Amino acid sequence: MKISKTLLTALSIGLLMTDVSVASPIKPGTACTKVNQKITSAGMNLVCLKSGKKLIWSKTPTTTAVPTPAATSSTVTAPVAPTSFQDLQDHVTGIIQGAWLKAGIQIKNSSSSLGNVKILVGPNTVMDDPNTLDSLTLLSKLYSNIAQVKNLTIIKFGKSDIAWAQQQYDLLHPNNYQPSGAQNQCSGPNGCDGGNAGINQNGDGVILLGQGGSYIGQPIVDGGTRASNGQVAAHEYTHTVQMINAPCQGGCYGDLPQWFLEGSAEWSATAARFNGNLDQFLTFRNSDLEGQYSQSSMYTPEWVTTYLNPNPLFIPNQDNWAYWGKYDRWDTYAIGMMATEILVDINGPDSIMKLYKDVGAGQSFAQAFQSEFGISWADACPIIGKAISTEIQKAIKR
């Protein structure tokens, strides 16, 4: 996918991530020969990475795999989680932990469905997260029962590699292609951050990931930001799962609410990455919702219900998300994340992606929701709106 000198500096990562134990201790900083090979030596997990013109062994943190209450600093009796729309308001305090626990159980009992992954890194770019595959694997396990892309290319780049990144992106040309896609990831006040996901005509996933952006003021867990912890990559990968299950021309994923697209991706990435540590999950979860909790009087049951839209009308090949244009864009992530937690509590993580699968098969959002949850969206929406408002008004954060 690369030309000239960039071919020598980009990393092409397939699935060469099998851990290997070695007999003779190897120290970080010593030379290695195979990019992205992983080993375990003297109790340390090491990965072979490029440093300048050399390949050296570097430390890599292990990914916490399953929710183990005894291993967290928040070992408390979990509140009772809701199991239906009928008992949702009675068990509103159990929404957050209930969904988080379901994510952990799903990951623990599943195998990864992650396909062939190629990571391309700009010639002048330092990766925010050298362990991207760890987060993608966790996300893949969360939705192991759902179709996922068989091939995925991730393009990582900083400001000095915008032109290079656009060139790679042009070649892959996803269905939601943007002529200035790379530049757009670097045009904000934080520099090159965030990501953009799509699938192309071959059904392959394509992700642009800005590197080196500023995350000042955002949470740090184990010394990592949401970028270096792999949450950004996992969020964008979630979008490829949504898209491959609703792959109609123009994107049938646009025939579901915008808050559902972003909110479910934000919850999925955070719950998967921190499935073994409730406190770390809550650190990022509640940071996402800081604005909502600090302006609680605004989020009445009526406001939230209207925002979610109890009677959405999605017309093919139209801008169905224009409805949410009058709201703060971050509400699509924050309120969408809270709505996702409720749906996961009631019917498990798979139900999120089954809605996309059903819409991709030709159903409307309302039809898919009725089929999956046994209640009309018009009836469920006010119940969800009231529960979310209660969480915010009462500052329920765990």
3-state secondary structure of 321: coil
295: Cβ–Cβ under 8 A, 6 or more apart, which residues?
A: none
Enumerate the β-bridge partners of residue 44. 41
pLDDT per residue as tens digits for the range 195-243: 999 999 999 999 999 999 999 889 998 889 999 999 999 999 999 999 9
How is the chain split into domains, by residue range?
79-104+269-398
Q: What is the pLDDT along the chain (398 residues), one digit of tens a residue?
A: 333 333 333 333 333 333 333 335 676 667 777 766 667 666 666 666 655 455 665 655 333 333 433 334 444 578 999 999 999 999 999 999 999 999 999 999 999 999 999 999 999 999 999 999 999 999 999 999 999 999 999 999 999 999 999 999 999 999 999 999 999 999 999 999 999 999 999 999 999 999 999 998 899 988 899 999 999 999 999 999 999 999 876 678 999 999 999 999 999 999 999 999 999 999 999 999 999 999 999 999 999 999 999 999 888 777 889 999 999 999 999 999 999 999 999 999 999 999 999 999 999 999 999 999 999 999 999 999 999 999 999 999 99
Question: β-strand 116-121 against 205-210: which pairing, if any?
Answer: unpaired
Cα 73 to Cα 68, 279, 282, distances in angstroms: 11, 7, 12
Answer yes or no: are the C-beta atoms of 231 and 304 closer than 8 Å: no
* Residue found under tokens 């003779």: 24
What is the gyration radius of the CA atoms in the chain, in angstroms?
Answer: 21
Helix axes 377-393, 301-308, angle to 10 degrees: 140
